[in-house]
Structures are given as C-alpha cells and as structure tokens.
Amino acid sequence: MNENIKSMCDHLREQAEDYALMEQAKEYALEYMRGVQDRSVFPNDETISNLEVFRESLNDEPSDPYDVIRILHEFGSPATVAQTGGRYFGFVCGGIAPAALAAKWISDTWDQNAGMYVMSPVAGVIEDVCEKWLVELLGLPGGTAAGFVGGSCTATLCALAAGRNSLLDQLGYDVSKKGLFGAPEIKVVLGEGAHSTIYKALSILGLGSERIITVPTDEQGRIRAYAVPELDTRTLLILQAGNVNSGAYDDFAALCKKAREAGAWIHIDGAFGLWAAASKRLGHLVKGAELADSWSIDAHKTLNAPYDNGIVFCRNRDALVNALQMSGSYIVYSENRDGMIYTLDMSRRGRIFELWATLKSLGKKGTEELVDDLHDKAVYFAAALRDNGFQIKNDVCFNQILLSLGDSDSTEKALKLVQDSGECWCGGSKWEGQSVIRVSVCSYRTTYEDIDRSVAAFAAAKEKALSK
Ligand SMILES: *Cc1c(COP(=O)(O)O)cnc(C)c1O
C-alpha cells in the first residue's frame, strides 16, 4: 500500500474534522438570517439570472469544500424566496420555529436513518412520543397511529391506500395480494374544491381521476351536504379541513356522522386547517373531524416546523401498517417503533427531531396561541385590504384571504405589481371563475407592522392597476 497517496476517503476524513468549515457555514447561515427581513421577498431578476453559474458541467477534479459552500451562499442565498421573513403570504407555507431550526442543525450532524428502531432508537422513541402528543393535541381518537412523512401529499397517499385496502378487505378482497385486476368497485366521493394532491393520490392508487363523484360546493368551498350521494361500505369519502383557497371547512359533524353510519371510509385533508383543533376559539371549525378514519396534516405549514414535516394519521393502526407493508398483509410490530411501517419510505431522515423541537418549544398553550394569532392577523389584514378598496371574497374563518378588484384583468395586474414590489409576496388563484389574489397568513414572523407595510404595497398596486 502506498502511504503517500491520499485517496478521496482520506480527503473527506480530513474535511470532516475541519470544524472551521462548519463555522463558516454557520456564519453564512447567520448572515442570511440577519438579512431576511429587509431584502426583496421574491428574488429580483439579477439574482435569478446569476443562478446560471450553477449550470456548468460537473467538474472532473474534487472541489474545495469552502468553495462549495461559498458558491451556494453567494449565488444561492440571494435567489431564495424570503419565506422565513414576515411578509411572505404565498401558497400556504409557514416559517421556521427557532428551536426547530437549531434542533435541525444538531440532528443534521447525527444523520440518523429513522427507518427502524435498530437503526436509530432515538428516532423511534421520539416518533412514539410525538404520535401521542399530536393525537391528544388534535383531539383524535386514542390509539390513532401516526406516520411521519414529507408532506400532506404523501400523507394522503398513505391514508387513501389504507382506506382503499380496508374497504376491499371488508368486501373479501385482498388487494395487496391480488392487485386491482378484478377487484370490486369502490366509489370515491369528494368536494369540488379538493386539493390537486388528492387527485394525484387517487390516480397513483388506481382509483382514477374520472370516475370520482364530485360534490358541488357552496360559495365558501364547502361540500353541499344535500348533494352528497348515497354512501355505503364501498365508499371513500374525502373531506377538507381548510380549503386551500378560502380556508373553509366541510361540515364534519353532519357528514362524518352520516358516512360513519353508512360504513364508508372517511379521510380528511387537514394540511393546514386541522391545526384549528388545538384552539378553543377555533375548535368549532373541526367539530366532528374526530369521527373520520384518517387525516393528513402538515407541520411545516401552520405549526411552523421546518420542511419537510407531514403526518398521516389513521384510526386503525393495522389498516395503515397493512397498506404500507413491504410483504403483503402481515403486520410485523416489533417491541419498539419502526417508523418505516407507517410510511412509504424505508430509509428516511430524522425529521421527527424538528417536529419534536417545535412541539416542545411551543407546548399546548403556545400552539394554541400561534393558531389564534395567525387567525387574528388574517382578520386584521382582510379588514385593512377592504378599507383600501379591495373586495374580500371569503369569510376569513382561519388564515386565508381571497381578494380581488372586481374584474380578473385589474386583479391580475395588481397581483403582478405587488409581486414585483418586493415588499411582500402572494400568489393568485381562481375563485368562482374569476381571478383572485390569495393571501395566507402562516408565519409567526408576520407582525402587524409587516401587514401594514404589505397593505401599503397593495394600495399602491391597486392605484396603478386601475389607472387608465
Ligand atoms: C399544502 C396542501 C396540500 C399538499 O401538502 P404538501 O405538504 O405540499 O404535500 C394538500 N392539501 C391542502 C389543503 C394543502 O393546503
């Protein structure tokens, strides 16, 4: 063996013990954090065109790790969307809770594989703990199982797989063995306002997107209860806690009761809205949601946990595990928690440490106050926009605001001007056939001052959009 020639592994080992590299990374990160409130919320054209530096062919020779992180910071940081600042209202996102960010830094150095207990006892134990905390916090039935996944999209896929298999199983058909060829038909019922990720999950699960029974919704986006077809033991009913546009909630008390009596499987997409269950003031919105069979929710939205933290809940633990087993319908519980039996993945990062840190740092009371605060700020924001001549198209029942200038053309113009201002950022959508602007108040970083500043940007945009 040649002692003088260093292999790549030798170089990497040296780098791993060069703590100054990590100090440098920390400096860059802190610089970003210090500047995020004052910069343009959306990256400007120049910073986006600078991203061209990344479009190079892969270097033959290794790069200096200091160069690697410098390039990322120099060109990557300015081209990020300032989502962790206080004036980002796009889609339904959320900030990053400080304790969770810090926990993420620490647990990144652990690089745990949360697939199985034997790979990471600490991940297994903390997943167990968070499952119990969340079930209680959200008022779900005792014993409900949780799987910790990337987001609601995956959570929905897992939940609907459990629902599909469970319904078919009750009809005497083992779909994990026989596949869908020749399976009894099951009926999928959902509201017109169902999120696109539901359709994605249904199509992956072989339930199609065209055979779905779509129930009309009211002016807020809630399922019209009288239009729900007959439900039975072959029905998968998908409801919504928080319409992605209006934030509206289906009438769970009525719909879940009816569906339960009929023997249907009920899934609730509660990506951001199910968190209302943690609030005494807003809990009425989710009354009856505990009657469902499965739920999907995102901690990276309302709870302000870091990406990516979604959760699938299933009332019947066996149904969830059975659907996600790698070996057909054989439930294998070990003495300790193996996270992979509740999710699609086997190897999985330890996202649970961030979720735990978020919950632990907030506590029950802090979570409730966070949820209430986001709602109060959305109500304030909507009132200020109305005072400035915008039409508010929805009841601001939670944290979503839909606004317009009356016609699609002016609304789209105003939206573009707001986006280009750099003062704040929000997206657009369609509501009742018209273009609307959608504002989501989802970050603890948003202050009343941030809202006033954003409203001023809206007012200026309106002025300009309506001139000539
Ligand atoms: C965000 C959202 C989803 C998708 O969640 P991801 O975490 O992006 O996968 C599904 N449904 C609703 C209502 C949402 O708001």
Asked whether the predicted pLDDT for residue 330 surpasses 70, the reply is no
In this prediction, residues 128-133 reach a mean pLDDT of 98
One-letter amino acid identity for 283?
Answer: G
DSSP state of 1: -
Task: Output the CA–CA distances (angstroms, integers) from residue 376 to 75, 335, 398, 400, 438, in the order listed.
Answer: 37, 45, 8, 11, 17
**Residue 87 maps to a domain:** no
154 CA closest ligand 1 atom index: 9
Q: Please list, in sequence order, all residues whose beta carbon lies within 8 angstroms of the beta carbon of residue 429, skipping any fewer than 6 positions away.
A: 245, 402, 435, 436, 437, 438
CA distance 346 to 116: 8
Distance 152 CA to ligand 1 centre (A): 5
| Token pair of 331 as six digits | 């439930």
- Is 259 in the same domain as 323? yes
pLDDT digit string, tens, across residues 409-459: 999 999 999 999 999 999 999 999 999 999 999 999 999 999 999 999 999
Regarding whether 332 and 210 lie in a shared domain, the answer is yes
What single-letter DSSP state applies at residue 4? Answer: S
Element housing 238 (H / E): strand 235-240
Cα 265 to chain centroid, rounded? 23
The pLDDT score that the predictor gives to residue 450 is 98
Q: How does residue 1 score in pLDDT terms, banded at 50, 70 and 90?
A: low
Tell me the pTM: 0.97
Q: What's the CA angle centered on 16, arms 12 and 21, to 5 degrees?
A: 110
Residue 82 has pLDDT above 80, yes or no: yes
Q: Per-residue confidence at 332, pLDDT binned at 50, 70, 90?
A: confident
Task: Tell me whether residue 88 is in a domain.
Answer: no
With 70 as the cut, is the pLDDT of residue 315 above it?
Answer: yes
Pocket-testing residue among 268, 298, 311, 398, ligand 1, by greatest number of atoms within 8 A of Cβ: 298
The last residue of one of the domains, among 307, 330, 359, is 359
Mean pLDDT of 458-466: 97
pLDDT confidence bin for 329, thresholds 50/70/90? low
Report pLDDT digits (tens) over 393-417.
999 999 999 999 999 999 999 999 9
Rounded to an integer, the average pLDDT of 133-140 is: 98
Q: What is the pLDDT of residue 2?
A: 64
pLDDT value of position 209: 83
- Do 290 and 377 fall into the same domain? no
Distance CA 409, CA 430 (A): 12
Measured distance between the N- and C-terminal CA atoms of the chain, rounded to whole angstroms:
80
Q: Are 398 and 282 in contact (CB under 8 A)?
A: yes
Cα-atom radius of gyration of the chain, to the nearest Å? 24
Q: Which amino acid is it at 441?
A: V
| 366 within a domain of the structure (yes/no) | no
Q: Does 348 share its domain with 431?
A: no
Range of the domain at 116: 102-359
Q: Which two tokens stand for residue 380?
A: 């304030």
What does the block give as tokens for 403?
């606004």
- 377 lies in the same domain as 326: no
Is residue 429 a part of any domain in this protein? yes
**Does any domain span residue 432?**
yes
Q: Could you tell me if 120 and 350 are in contact, meaning their C-beta atoms sit under 8 angstroms apart?
A: yes
206 in the same domain as 74: no
The pairing of beta strand 294-298 with beta strand 310-314:
antiparallel
Phi/psi region, residue 424 (left: phi>0; alpha: psi -120 to 50; beta: rest), is beta
- On whether both 28 and 145 belong to a single domain, the answer is no
One domain, residues 271 and 390: no
CA-nearest residue, atom 12 of ligand 1: 271
65 C-alpha to ligand 1 centroid (Å): 36
The residue contributing the CA closest to ligand 1 atom 1 is 271
Share of the chain above pLDDT 90, in %: 96
Distance from Cα 153 to the centre of ligand 1, integer Å: 6
31 shares a domain with 164: no
Residue 328 has pLDDT above 70, yes or no: no
With a Cβ cut-off of 6 Å, ligand 1 is lined by: 92, 151-153, 195, 197, 242, 244, 269, 271-272, 298, 310
Residues 278-302: tens digit of each pLDDT: 999 999 999 999 999 999 999 999 9
Cβ neighbors of 226 (< 8 A, separation 6 or more) are: none
Q: What's the confidence (pLDDT) of residue 275?
A: 98
Q: How many Cβ atoms from other residues are within 10 Å of residue 380's Cβ?
A: 16
Closest atom of ligand 1 relative to the 242 alpha carbon: 13
Question: Which strands form 145-149's sheet, in the order they lie side by side?
Answer: 145-149, 310-314, 294-298, 265-269, 235-240, 187-191, 213-215
Residue 94 located in a structural domain:
no
pLDDT band of residue 4 (cuts 50, 70, 90) is confident
Whether 196 and 57 map to the same domain: the answer is: no
Interval 377-392 mean pLDDT: 98
Partners of 313 in beta bridges: 146, 295
Grade residue 3 by pLDDT with cuts at 50, 70 and 90. low
pLDDT in tens, 141-186: 999 999 999 999 999 999 999 999 999 999 999 999 999 999 999 9
Instruction: Tell me 425's DSSP state.
Output: B
Which pLDDT score, from 0 to 100, does residue 327 have?
Answer: 63
**Mean pLDDT for the chain overall:** 96
Last residue of a domain, one of 304, 337, 359: 359
User: Cα dihedral sign for 90, 95, 101, 103?
Assistant: negative
pLDDT in tens, 30-55: 999 999 999 999 999 999 999 999 99
Tell me the best of 91, 195, 204, 440 to mutate to test the pocket of ligand 1, counting ligand atoms within 8 Å of each CB and taking the most. Answer: 195
Overall average pLDDT of the 4-19 stretch? 94
CA distances from 394 to 302, 362, 373, 429 (A): 19, 30, 19, 13
Q: CATH number, domain at 293?
A: 3.40.640.10
List Cβ neighbours of 390 (8 Å cut-off, separation of 6 or more): 403, 404, 405, 437, 458, 462
> Does residue 97 lie in a domain region?
no
Q: Cα separation of 419 and 416, whole Å? A: 5
Whether 351 and 427 share a structural domain:
no
* Burial of 451 (C-beta count, 10 Å sphere; 0-12/13-18/19+): buried
pLDDT for the residue 119? 95
Tally the domains of the chain.
3
Domain end call among 300, 325, 359: 359
Give the distance, in angstroms, between the CA of residue 419 and the centroid of all CA atoms in the same chain.
23
Residue keyed to tokens 């806690």: 241
pLDDT attached to residue 210: 82
Whether 77 and 130 share a structural domain: no
Q: Reply yes or no on whether the pLDDT at 331 is more than 80.
A: no
For residue 12, the CA-to-ligand 1 centroid distance in Å is 39
In a domain? residue 186: yes
CA of 271 to the centre of ligand 1 (A): 5
Domain CATH code at residue 451: 3.90.1150.10
**Cα–chain center distance at 387:** 31
Dist. CA 196 → ligand 1 center (Å) = 9
User: 375 CA to middle of ligand 1, Å?
Assistant: 19
Residue 462 CB coordination number (10 Å): 21
pLDDT confidence of residue 345: 95
Q: Check whether 270 has a pLDDT greater than 90.
A: yes
